[in-house]
Amino acid sequence: MKKSSEIVAAALVLATLASGVASAQIQGAVTTPEGRKIEGTIKWLPRQKAYGITAKGGNVELEMAPANISEMKIPRPRELDEAIASIKQGNAAAAVPALEKISADYLMLQWDTVATRYLAEAHIKSGGADKALAVCEKVIRANPEAAYLGEMAPPYWQALLSLGRTAKLEDLLAKAVKSGDRRASAFALIARGDVIMAEGDTHEIMRKSLRDGYLRVVTLYRNERDAQPEALYKAAKCFEKLGQTSRADQFRTTLKNEFAASEWARKG
């Protein structure tokens, strides 16, 4: 199984884990290392640290450890896209209940990590950086790598920055860059630019944030498409403040032409 599918997600998820309550039974399929495919209902059993699988057409629950599963396929929950849409439309608070439920129902079933990532973002956008931090740190206690790798890391970094915990943030960004994961490195460089920008509004600081953060993503991580819109937007803002309007316009044009559907393009 992919490492990202093993990250426990959200405060509600951790409460479920601590209480020993299993996840919901979800339709899906698993494949063993030997190539055997089993379709049916799947749930995570926290006390056993294993999956309970009832094959389609059967009534006997098999117990399988994660090490005995090479691949898991769980259909994407419909409510997840609705919650994400609410966040993107500026109604982050409305998305929280659905994301908490998905995190609990899909505990260790692929979509818990995605739900946690957006749950943390929803809290940040609702002015609750402390809530986002609490959600993330409970996840991190179960899987320390979640602090610098995977879906949840960028919103966790945002929460740390909002709360002024820059020393801890810098340590995590260094780990992300050293990890060799290009997606993690790209977002870590953006966050590093944000940390530098938080120091003030001088030309020296803006040039440093470009050099050590945003421009490195734009030029060296072009294939990391998820990171490009934010880096382009923030680079354009820096060039604008530096009085280099032609360069700012150049980055905005790229942003709007290549990433028109992104929230960063809508911000202009």
- The total number of residues shown for the chain amounts to 268
Q: Assess whether 39 and 80 both reside in one domain.
A: yes
Confirm whether 178 is domain-assigned: yes
Answer with the one of 89, 113, 144 that is the final residue of a domain.
144
Confirm whether 248 is domain-assigned: yes
Q: Assess whether 137 and 180 both reside in one domain.
A: no
Tell me the average pLDDT across 16-22: 48
Count of the separate structural domains present in the chain = 2
Tell me the average pLDDT across 189-206: 95
Per the structure, the complete domain to which residue 268 belongs is given by 164-268
Q: Assess whether 57 and 137 both reside in one domain.
A: yes
Q: Assess whether 169 and 104 both reside in one domain.
A: no
Place of tokens 């009534």: 59
Q: Assess whether 2 and 36 both reside in one domain.
A: yes
Predicted pLDDT of residue 127: 87
Beta strands in the chain (DSSP E): 26-31, 37-45, 50-55, 61-64, 71-73
Question: Between 103 and 188, where is the model more confident?
Answer: 188
26-30, 142-146, 164-168, 179-183: least confident range: 142-146
CA atoms within 13 A on the CB side of 52: 16
pLDDT per residue over 236-259, tens digit each? Answer: 999 999 999 999 999 999 999 999
Answer with the one of 144, 173, 197 that is the final residue of a domain.
144
Predicted pLDDT of residue 3: 41
Place of tokens 């790798």: 149
Confirm whether 78 is domain-assigned: yes
Question: Between 151 and 193, where is the model more confident?
Answer: 193
Tell me the average pLDDT across 168-194: 96
Q: Assess whether 265 and 223 both reside in one domain.
A: yes
Helix (H, G, I), strand (E, B) or coil at 2: coil
Q: Assess whether 3 and 120 both reside in one domain.
A: yes
Q: Assess whether 109 and 26 both reside in one domain.
A: yes
> What pLDDT band is residue 7 in, cutting at 50, 70 and 90?
very low
| Averaged pLDDT score across all residues of the chain | 88
Predicted pLDDT of residue 21: 58
CATH number for the domain that contains residue 34? 2.30.30.100
DSSP for 139-154 reads: HHHH-GGGGTSSTTHH
Confirm whether 152 is domain-assigned: no
Predicted pLDDT of residue 142: 66
Predicted pLDDT of residue 196: 96
Confirm whether 158 is domain-assigned: no
Q: Assess whether 222 and 114 both reside in one domain.
A: no
- Position 214, amino acid: Y
Answer yes or no: is pLDDT of 2 > 60.
no
pLDDT per residue over 117-172, tens digit each? Answer: 899 999 998 889 999 998 888 778 767 898 999 888 999 999 999 999 999 999 99
Question: Between 268 and 6, where is the model more confident?
Answer: 268
Q: Assess whether 140 and 168 both reside in one domain.
A: no
pLDDT per residue over 65-97, tens digit each? Answer: 999 999 999 999 999 999 999 998 889 999 999
Is the Cβ–Cβ distance between 217 and 186 less than 8 Å? yes
Percent of the chain with pLDDT over 90: 69
The CA-based angle 132-173-134, given to 5 degrees, is: 15
Predicted pLDDT of residue 107: 83
Predicted pLDDT of residue 14: 40
Q: Which two tokens stand for residue 175?
A: 């780990």
pTM exceeding 0.85 = no
Predicted pLDDT of residue 22: 66
Confirm whether 209 is domain-assigned: yes
Q: Assess whether 139 and 258 both reside in one domain.
A: no
Q: Assess whether 73 and 123 both reside in one domain.
A: yes
Answer yes or no: is pLDDT of 199 > 70.
yes
Confirm whether 150 is domain-assigned: no
